[in-house]
């Protein structure tokens, strides 16, 4: 389909083939076929990766994944804030514990 539309637009034969081969869905299905073959012929450890096909086939799953991937900067900043809070809390606990030990010695 993509090859036919590119050739109808006047593209050269090899350019049509290369642009068709670089299409994301063609690359996805080549990856899928390679993992399926490796899972059957080499090791069953490759077969769980075939479950990622759910993301391609189901729009709801794709939307949920995009909801996490797209705002990754905000999620990363939230993680940094959590690390600062944990550091402050740990410093407070260690300080109180040290103060209590110092007060017991007096």
List per-residue pLDDT tens for the chain, 106 residues long.
Answer: 666 666 677 776 777 777 777 778 888 889 899 999 999 999 888 888 888 888 888 889 889 888 888 888 888 899 999 999 999 999 888 888 877 777 777 6
pLDDT of 2: 65
- Helix (H) or strand (E) run with residue 71 in it: none
The owner of tokens 């050269």 is 12
pTM, two decimal places:
0.53
Tokens of 67: 């909801």
pLDDT of 34: 92
Q: Which sign does the torsion angle of CA 73, 78, 81, 83 carry?
A: negative
pLDDT of 100: 77
Tokens of 99: 């103060």
DSSP structural state of residue 47? G
Give the Å distances, CA to CA, from 10 to 3, 5, 14, 18, 59.
11, 9, 12, 14, 34
pLDDT of 3: 62
pLDDT tens, residue by residue, 57-73: 888 988 988 888 888 88
Which of 87, 106, 84 has its CA nearest to residue 95? 87
Domain boundaries, the chain: 2-105
Tokens of 3: 């090859």
């Amino acid at each position: 389909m993509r090859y036919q539309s590119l050739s109808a637009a006047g593209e050269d034969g090899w350019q049509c083939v290369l642009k068709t081969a670089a299409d994301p869905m063609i690359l996805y299905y080549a990856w899928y076929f390679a993992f399926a073959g490796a899972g059957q012929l080499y090791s069953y450890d490759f077969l769980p990766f075939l479950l990622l096909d759910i993301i391609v086939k189901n729009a709801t799953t794709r939307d949920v994944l995009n909801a996490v991937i797209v705002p990754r900067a905000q999620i990363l900043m939230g993680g940094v804030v959590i690390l600062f809070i944990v550091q402050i809390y740990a410093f407070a606990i260690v300080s109180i514990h040290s103060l209590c030990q110092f007060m017991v010695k007096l």
